Amino acid sequence: MREIQYHKAINEAFIEEMERDETVYLMGESLRGANYPHSEGLAKRFGDQRVLDTPICEAAFCGAAVASAMTGYRPIVDLMFIDFMYTAADEILLKAPQWRFMHGGKVNVPVVFMGAAGGGMKLANEHSQIPSSIILHSPGIKLAVPSTPYDAKGLMKTAIRDNNPVMYFWHKQLMAVTGEVPEEDYTIPFGVADVKREGTDVTVVAYSYMVQLALEVAKKLEGEISVEVVDPRTLEPFDLDAVLKSVEKTNRLVIVDEDTERCSFASELAAQVVDKGFTLLDEPIKRVCAGNYPIPGGYMEQHVLPSVEKIEAAIRSVAV
């Protein structure tokens, strides 16, 4: 098995699915110029009828994608930065996820919305969010949050083949990360978590780039505290059983979520674990999230976002 970078894994998923199904196409901002390397070479390979650069008007091209999905195509919409989804919220959060339900399941809406998510590059509030909770509060749309090249490719291929709308967050800090990816065709089912590291003392649930930080802390604490890292890979659908199984073993839970702490995925997961597995817990659940502030630019960013130090402190606080 070869090792490739995260962005290359996404690029391969595009190529394989576009070659497999001629209804798959990409549209979005600066794709032909490959503003990000995951779209590199696609315009030359597939032509400008299947790799479309759009005007900077997210509401218009997201609406066009939803319409084309309803008429038999499988568009992949690249918003460049996922923060820009707010300017197309009507199409992404109201139209795409709800029209299949409103039409009694007679209309498929196979569209993938994607964009760069998360902080760490000092790009300030409109280019650094990972708005998971907004997506989870919109029934009918799925959410994939890959943390490795293997997951990035497998989840993208599953997303493209799904007949429901899917939001796909790729994290800017993961773009150059390398990992093992098979050369043969594969997909990863939604709603199936992956234990990235086994442990016995504390369960850490993290997603996207936060998985890498959690693994860094787990390695640092090896021999002192045994940390199990559970990566849900998709937040909708979500594999609660995998989390409960891990907590049954460790009796302690830390949730790491780069979204804002208030009304976050971490808040929802904590509530579900208390509801379904309260007796499994020996210590209160700890959350490590972004602060309830806009994400500032420059060096101040570090004071708002989760960090290795904050994750370690949370783990130590429950490992008593």
Catalytic residues: 127
Task: Report the residue count for the chain.
Answer: 320
Helix or strand (DSSP H, E) at 21? none
CA atoms within 13 A on the CB side of 129: 18
Cβ contacts of 152 within 8 Å, gap of 6 or more = 6, 9, 10, 13, 146, 170, 174
Tokens representing residue 301 in the block = 């960013």
Tokens representing residue 170 in the block = 């790729």
Contact between 78 and 26 (Cβ < 8 Å): yes
State the Rg of the chain over Cα: 19
Contact between 120 and 85 (Cβ < 8 Å): no
Question: How many other C-beta atoms can be found within 10 angstroms of the C-beta atom of residue 130?
Answer: 27
Distance CA 3, CA 88 (A): 36
